[in-house]
Structure 1
């Protein structure tokens, strides 16, 4: 199965080379939303390579599968893919291995979702304990601000069917009105873009296949880029200086800005990015990059269908 091997080779090259290519330049920090889309397209292309290769290998190994995959196809299409009547053991083994990888990936994603739901339930139970409803007060469905007593300035959004912003009294005392609005806009940016699902999917892939470079980089970049994208949402509404001051106010007690700060902490870099923003890419270049990224998942489909299309042509 030449096409199946070509798809696997394409997927392997994409998985190995993409982290290096995406790391070149600073365009991702300048356009985090575009970078998020590009990463999703690349990962989708790698997964498509595996799925299509699995289908072709299964069609080579088992007549029953071949009948379903190539059911409406004329005889010349079958001849174009050089499917033999004798089942090859290597095709069956490869199909089973790829299928097992898909099942393992689905299991890791299910584990991430179950863990996230359990974590949300635990946090909501903690919120009900720390901030109980007053007598006669009814819990409001939808977006709701919850204020907790706390000596440390913190703010986070708890996703779910009824998302809510949680903020401590220390953060209310430290942040000004516009800075508090910027924090709210930042967290709303996460919820509206469903960044929690991106984080779950990237964590599941990296947990399932930690040796694959593109999945490791995907998880790392998702944590970085979703914060930059949410920062941009807040800065467009309330200004870059206000958003930067809000970040400083929430994190200055954590020791991330002092001489002993870790070089791996992303908050100072986010503040520097807000205070000294680089120019955005030109509109034409953004459109071309978006279109190019959107075409990446199409490549495996084209590779898989080229023999059949040639036979029909």
Structure 2
């Protein structure tokens, strides 16, 4: 059971130390897309550690499970893992605890997705009420831009099988020229990258295990990084100054640029930082550094697999 213990130790160390390492410096602001990939790889590695440790503990505790897991493996591979014949009670307890944690995570993810769908259906009903279809017009099956009557500037996208970009007349009156295009490009960046799935997953994990540092940091970083990535999509097409002015125009009446702005990212707490980042951009990482960081991050989820399959591979080798 040394391998299962090593996986549990590796997962615990990664969950505690990774947030401290990844949040150092300003590299994530300079490369938000790369940072999104790194965070996903780290979280995937932690989840893989738990999943593989659960499988090995279950194989140690129950002969029937062992038969299924090692069914196609030669006898010497099974012997390499030093599984006892009768099993240990603690192995069954650990396997059950990890299984319960996985089931709880799945339940939180299901709740998050169901809640998001309910909110989306409610917003679509409101959208149909405020912007009804014309006589003879059919419900759109592809992307559609909808303009809503409203004095408050706003723009957002509704995910789903038929995603929609929505902008209010207040935003059209407040913004000028290419600023409107920049706002729509920002929302299209969210839509094309499917940032909603990242946010749902991060929220579900942080809700299921609020005391695990990596899951708390994952949720906080996702809310910030998806906005920075969408800002970059807009700024590459329409310029940083235009995108910054569009952000200010949409949100200047919401009190987020005052002396005491809201610290909550969901209520615009990141907007001053986003505007400053657009107006005073830092140099991007070199192509070589980006490639090395991407390759290193891609290797992180492979580490639990190497630990788990190492004894068997050494035996076969």
TMscore range, shorter length: over 0.9
- Provide the rounded CA distance (Å) in 1 between the counterparts of 2:103 and 2:89: 21
- Provide the rounded CA distance (Å) in 1 between the counterparts of 2:84 and 2:259: 68
In the other structure, the counterpart of 1:296 is 300
Please provide the CA RMSD for this pair: 1.0
In the other structure, the counterpart of 1:151 is 151
Following superposition, which runs of at least 4 residues in structure 1 exceed 4 angstroms of deviation?
Answer: none
Task: Measure how far apart 1:137 and its partner are.
Answer: 2.9
Whether 2:287 is the aligned partner of 1:283: answer yes
Task: Measure how far apart 1:77 and its partner are.
Answer: 1.2
Task: Measure how far apart 1:263 and its partner are.
Answer: 5.2
In the other structure, the counterpart of 1:273 is 277
In the other structure, the counterpart of 2:17 is 17
Q: What SS is found at the alignment partner of 2:5?
A: helix
Task: Measure how far apart 1:256 and its partner are.
Answer: 1.3
Superposition map of 1:211-226 within 5 A: 211-226=211-226
Superposition map of 1:1-313 within 5 A: 1-262=1-262, 265-313=269-317
Task: Measure how far apart 1:62 and its partner are.
Answer: 0.8
Q: What SS is found at the alignment partner of 1:73?
A: coil
- Provide the rounded CA distance (Å) in 2 between the counterparts of 1:186 and 1:297: 31
- Provide the rounded CA distance (Å) in 1 between the counterparts of 2:144 and 2:86: 63
Task: Measure how far apart 1:312 and its partner are.
Answer: 1.8
- Provide the rounded CA distance (Å) in 2 between the counterparts of 1:177 and 1:136: 32
Q: What SS is found at the alignment partner of 1:184?
A: helix
Task: Measure how far apart 1:72 and its partner are.
Answer: 1.5
- Provide the rounded CA distance (Å) in 1 between the counterparts of 2:261 and 2:45: 38
Q: What SS is found at the alignment partner of 1:123?
A: helix
Q: What is the TM-score normalised by the length of structure 1? A: 0.98
Task: Measure how far apart 1:176 and its partner are.
Answer: 1.3
Q: What is the TM-score normalised by the length of structure 2? A: 0.97
- Provide the rounded CA distance (Å) in 2 between the counterparts of 1:74 and 1:136: 67
Summarize the Cα distance change of 1:185–1:90 in structure 2 as closer, same or farther, 3 Å threshold: same
- Provide the rounded CA distance (Å) in 1 between the counterparts of 2:142 and 2:58: 47
Task: Measure how far apart 1:92 and its partner are.
Answer: 0.8
Q: What SS is found at the alignment partner of 1:222?
A: helix
- Provide the rounded CA distance (Å) in 1 between the counterparts of 2:260 and 2:121: 36
5+ residue gaps in structure 1?
Answer: none
Task: Measure how far apart 1:135 and its partner are.
Answer: 2.5
Q: What SS is found at the alignment partner of 1:145?
A: strand
- Provide the rounded CA distance (Å) in 2 between the counterparts of 1:104 and 1:164: 32
Q: Deviations over 1:159-215 (max 9, x none)?
A: 111111111111000111201100110000001001000000000000110010000
Task: Measure how far apart 1:145 and its partner are.
Answer: 1.2
- Provide the rounded CA distance (Å) in 2 between the counterparts of 1:59 and 1:287: 39
